[in-house]
Structure 1
Amino acid sequence: MRWRRGRGVLVAAVLAVVAAGCTVEQAEPKGPMPAPEQGLERFYQQTPQWGECDGFGDPDDRFPPNAQCTKITVPIDYAKPDGPTAQIALSRIPASGAKIGSLLMNPGGPGVSGLSMAGIANRTPLSERFDRVGFDPRGVGASTPSISCLTPQETDAERAERPEENSPEGIAAAEAENKEYADKCVERSGDALLAHVGTREVVRDMDVIRAVLGDPKLSYLGYSYGTKLGSLYAEQFPGRVRALVLDGAVDSSKDPVQESLHQAAGFQTAFDAYAQHCAKEPECPLGADPAQAVARFRELVNPLWDKPAATTDPRGLGYSDAMTGVTQTLYSDDLWQVLTLGLDELRDGRGDTLLQLADMYDGRRDDGTYNNTQDAFNAIRCVDDPRVTDPGVAGRQDTEYRKAAPFLDDGRGTGKAPLELCASWPVPNSGNPHRISVAGLPKVVVVSTTDDPATPYQAGVDLAAQLDAALITFQGNRHTAALVAGDECLDSAVIAYLVDLTVPEPGLTC
């Protein structure tokens, strides 16, 4: 799940490395295709026209020569299949050996493009036995119509703003800004689209994708928010599941307030682990005593509230961007050295590295434009979750959030806080927290990392219990691990399950 300053509370996008391979189409025998719901036949029976990937994905994306892309059509509102439609962008790299079927993948978010996922697990049995397929969920990336709320100039201006104080005047101003943002989303995206971009609809789209790819049953690998897609697909279509791997679990039984507090605690744990690591290094910017790391960190970032740090980019580094850049590095211990560099620069009055990290997180391109990840994140989250409309609840949440993550506490808490963006959202939510109970689901696999900051370990334990899934515990400081952390124990278990349906041994820890 994405961490979002300001408007949101909760990225982790898995970065897939794509490489070329040869194509050999040798499909294994398949069972009968499930019959589509009446009125949806034209969507389920469409034939994808695969072609080159030029024009798909972000302009900075690079697809390998054997990657193929297409778009398929789905109804915007499944209750009105004869109404307006959306185009879902797909990418694939065909299997290089005897094909089992397609492996559909999602990197999380919500709001993150999934087209680059087709290149994951290259030169493994997965690349031999599956067409690896990525997709941009409705409203996201290359899928159309696209969720759009702010112009690039408006996004730059918003990022540069100093956060509002939690005074009565500041709270009123923040809530007015949220209402203005929501109004712009309606103006530029349309309320019909905004009402139908939630997980409820994406799960239906995934079933259309499954059928269009020619698979009687779904094989799926989902990370972070992608685990929510996978678990709710299992809930709605248990008989159409072949295999699910859900890594970095979102527990759909938790409400938004619980989820945000658990995530805050997870990021504090990651910060503390970084502080312990940094303290062993000479000239650690947080000092040699981990117990003083939060105080030292606040000494570095608090001045940015009033005066941005200098950067080679004329924008400078403001407080909000600094916090986004720091949080970006806590998603994986692979980025801790980058965090040290950024804090070293900040100690010297410069902010280039943290600004670049914030740009990466917010999807800002070199030409100053943005992808739509942040707008899509807000739109999907606000239609997925129940709204917090009680100022008392908002105030208590803010207080508890500061306690759970002291490194994120700017020291300006008052016990009161603005209602967040979703309280102003123009369309009703279509999802609610609930425990998942599924009959007839084959054995699926949940991977949970012990020190995952964004989706804490216990969420994976709880989701595995709800799905009666095999749980693989990965020991590490990172968000998601299967096929991206380079761990042989974990990867071999996941691959054996996806290829041969070999269920991992109980209690497997890697």
Structure 2
Amino acid sequence: MFKPRKATAAPGHVMLLPAALAAIALLVTSCTSDKDPVGPPVPTLDPYYRQTLSWGSCDGYQGGEELGAAGIECARVLVPIDYGKPGGDTARIAISRLRATGTRVASLLTNPGGPGAPGLALPLALAKSPVAERLDVIGMDVRGLGASAPHVSCRSVAEFETGQRVLGRTDPLAEIDQVEEENEDYANSCARRTGRTLLAHVGTVDVARDMDVVRSALGEQKLTYFGGSYGTRLGSTYAELFPDRVRAMVLDAPVDPTTNIGDEVITAAGFQQAFDAYAADCAKAPDCPLGTDPKKANLNYRALVSPLIQHPIRGLDYGAVITATIAALYHPSSWPDLTKGLTDLAKGRGDALLGEATAYEDASSDDVHRAVLCLEEVRVTDRAVAADIVRRSRAAAPAFDDATGNANASAPLDACAFWPVPPTAQPHVPKVVGLPKVVVVAATGDPATPYPGAVTLAKTLGATLITYEGTQHGAAFEGIACVDQPVVKYLIDLTAPADGLRCSKT
């Protein structure tokens, strides 16, 4: 606490008495021109960092009933929409808290990824982990979505449902001009409904700054953080901005900081690798819908799903079945559902796959997802470049090659080519100085964020890398003792695991 110094005169200086101070103040006042007013104080970020949280019921929050039943509290944190203008419009960030059941060490801020995945319920997933004994687990809906406000809004629910073929699920037979027109309309709609100010400030840097305000509001001098998938990009960005404010950080299923968040060619190769692993597992059963020869799985899969391009089955079109397949490839626990869905499809039924596709997509978070990508990925404004990306993606993932348009000299530009606000960040090698030891966790067969990106991130941050030999997206807090035990120990007492640790199921 700051204490004023005792009033003593320094050698060679005159100590002014109260009467003298008053006279000088009067003199200064009389000499100040009305044309040169002092004016109000310049707004700063101090009030945001000094705010006190009001924890209470999660009623009225998205998913609040389930949170409340688990003993989770909720609150909102006030942040500026534009950190360059602290006195301007504000946003309210919804956070949740699962209190530590034992002697508390710190608060653990979490993020599930996305961009655009609501995180308010993430503490539920960690409730049975040992970290919940010593750490308050904090969930957070990032700016623009969920229980936070205001929202990024580009389409109504009805528009989202009817527009999936162009924006969420590419229609391989659509005319290029038609697709681009709808993409441009979507981009303009985002600006109109959301407002340009918020749309320009939903990116990773702004969310990382929100995380620091949340840290302060929680009463923590330093941040303890767990982020998965895109949450690792948030973590590495926070580390760039505030390296001296990091206590501990675990980054699971990392996004390569030097590439686009959703690099199409890289992720295509990752999902093909996961598809190959699924096909090999499926082929062990005599009734596998892809056959018993894994080498023919790509061809058999395309033969099964390609007819949906021109002949959807009661709402299940080609894009939906690809979406359902991708969703199932994130984790082996979903492989049996994919097998059942493909078996049903072979019999002319598509309800199961349609349900999986619908569950995977969410209207509000999809808008935030696209807004962040358009702010931070290298924008493609040349159809020939777009066509080259499509060709390379198809070559990297032959299972998902719809066999149309390969000879096209051009391809439609996506919504980011028409985005109404300029980029706010670009892929780069993070420059971090003074960061304490952090931990990176990665699976060798991660479909969404392939393993080489984890190696890059760990090297860049000087982090300890834990490698899990398996095919899934994310390995921490998945019940893998070899991964979880060192991660928990690190988060609680800051003992970093040995570098180069490798784990497997067996």
CA drift of 1:507 comes to 1.2
Partner of 2:154: 149
Please, which of 391, 394, 397 is the counterpart of residue 399 of structure 1?
391
1:456 has 2:415 as partner: no
**2:378 & 2:465 partners in 1: Cα distance?**
29
Alignment of 1:212 with 2:212, yes or no, is no
CA contact (8 A) 1:125 1:499 kept: no
How far did residue 477 of structure 1 move? 1.0
Q: Equivalent residue of 1:99, what SS? A: coil
CA-to-aligned-CA distance 1:383-433 (integer Å, 9 cap, x gap): 122311122211111110000011111101234211111001110110011
> Once superposed, which parts of structure 1, at least 4 consecutive aligned residues long, lie more than 6 Å away?
none
Q: Deviations over 1:226-267 (max 9, x none)?
A: 00000110011000000000000011111468x221111000
Name the structure 2 match of 1:308.
312
CA distance in 2, matches of 1:344, 1:63: 40
Q: How much has 1:184 moved relative to structure 2?
A: 1.4
Give the C-alpha shift of residue 124 in structure 1.
3.5
Query: Is residue 386 from structure 1 mapped to residue 378 from structure 2 by the alignment?
Result: yes
Kept after mapping to 2: 8 A contact 1:58/1:141: no
**Deviates further, 296-305 or 212-221:** 296-305
What residue is the counterpart of 1:332 in the other structure?
331
Asked if 2 retains the 8 angstrom alpha-carbon contact of 1:57 and 1:113, the reply is: no
User: What pairs up with 1:311-460 in 2 under 5 angstroms?
Assistant: 316-363=315-362, 370=363, 372-412=364-404, 413-415=406-408, 416-460=410-454
TM-score between both structures, scaled by the size of structure 1? 0.87
State the TM-score, normalizing by the size of structure 2. 0.88
1:289 corresponding residue in structure 2? 293
Structure-1 separation of matches of 2:261 and 2:140: 26
| Structure 2 counterpart SS, 1:244 | strand
Which region of structure 1 is more displaced relative to structure 2, 175-184 or 415-424?
A: 415-424
CA separation in 2, counterparts of 1:267 and 1:63?
Answer: 37
1:87-109 deviations in Å (ceiling 9; x for gaps): 10000111112111100000000
- SS of 2:302's equivalent in the other structure is helix
Amino acid corresponding to residue 473 of structure 1 in structure 2 = T
Contact (CA 8 Å) 1:447, 1:473: kept in 2 or not?
yes
User: In structure 1, how many angstroms separate the alpha carbons of the residues matched to 2:71 and 2:357?
Assistant: 32
Q: Distance in 1 between matches of 2:251 and 2:214?
A: 19
**Residues of 1 paired with 2:171 and 2:486: CA distance?**
48
Rate the CA distance shift 1:63–1:290 in 2: closer, same or farther, 3 A.
Answer: farther
Q: How many residues align?
A: 458
Amino acid at match of 1:488: A
Pair 1:509 & 2:502 matched: yes
1: CA distance, partners of 2:43 / 2:465 = 37
Give the AA of the match of 1:492.
Answer: Q
Tell me, in whole angstroms, the C-alpha distance in 1 between the residues paired with 2:130 and 2:198. Answer: 39
Is the CA contact (8 Å cut-off) linking 1:91 and 1:134 kept in structure 2? yes
Matched residue, 2:59: 54
Tell whether 2:99 aligns with 1:99.
no
Shift of 1:165: 4.4
Q: CA deviation at 1:123?
A: 3.6
Amino acid at match of 2:431: S
Percent identity between the aligned chains? 48
Q: 1:418 to 1:362 in 2, by over 3 A?
A: same
Residues of 2 paired with 1:44 and 1:53: CA distance?
Answer: 23
Contact map agreement 1:104 1:219 (CA 8 A) in 2? yes
Segment of structure 1 superposing worse, 377-386 or 223-232: 377-386
Q: 2:303 aligns with which of 286, 299, 302?
A: 299
Worse-matched range after superposition: 294-303 or 105-114: 294-303
1:18 is matched with which residue?
none
CA distance in 1, matches of 2:127, 2:366: 29
Q: CA deviation at 1:320?
A: 1.1
The corresponding residue for 2:87 is 82
Which residue number corresponds to residue 269 of structure 1? 273
Rounded to whole Å, the distance in 2 between the matches of 1:390 and 1:352 is 38
Q: For 1:200 and 1:64, how far apart are their aligned partners in 2?
A: 34
Once residues 73 and 354 of structure 1 are traced to their aligned partners in structure 2, the CA distance between those partners, rounded to angstroms, is: 41
Pair 1:334–1:204, CA change in 2 (3 A): same
SS at match of 1:264: helix
Q: Which structure 2 residues correspond to residues 193-204 of structure 1 after superposition, within 5 A? A: 193-204=198-209
Structure 2: how far apart are the matches of 1:138 and 1:256? Answer: 18
**How far apart are 1:121 and its partner, in Å?**
2.6
CA distance in 2, matches of 1:378, 1:60: 29
Q: Distance in 1 between matches of 2:476 and 2:388?
A: 36
CA contact (8 A) 1:385 1:430 kept: no
Find the counterpart in structure 1 of residue 133 from structure 2. 128
- Measure, in 2, the Cα distance between the counterparts of 1:429 and 1:103: 30
| Structure 1 counterpart SS, 2:502 | coil
Between 1 and 2, higher relative CO (CA 8 Å, sep ≥ 6) is seen in 1
In structure 2, distance between residues paired with 1:329 and 1:443: 34
| Whole-angstrom distance in 2 between the partners of 1:292 and 1:120 | 38
The one-letter code of the counterpart of 2:446 is D
Q: 1:18-29 to 2 correspondence within 5 Å?
A: none
5+ unaligned residues in a row in structure 2: which ranges?
A: 1-41
- State yes or no: 1:252 paired with 2:257: yes
- Alpha-carbon distance change, 95 to 164 in structure 1, aligned in 2, over 3 angstroms: closer
d(CA) in 1 for partners of 2:260 and 2:376? 11
The 1:417/1:59 distance shift into structure 2, 3 A limit, reads farther
- 2:310 partner letter: D
Asked if 1:477 is matched to 2:471, the reply is yes
1:33 — aligned with what? Answer: none
Deviation at 1:61, TM superposition (A): 4.9
Query: What is the RMSD computed on CA atoms of the aligned residues?
Result: 1.7
Shift of 1:60: 8.2
Contact 1:164–1:170 under 8 Å retained in 2: no
Task: State the SS of the aligned residue for 1:98.
Answer: coil
Question: SS in structure 2 opposite 1:92?
Answer: strand
Distance 1:160 1:60, change over 3 A: farther
Take 2:75 and 2:65, find their aligned partners in 1: how far apart are those partners? Answer: 19
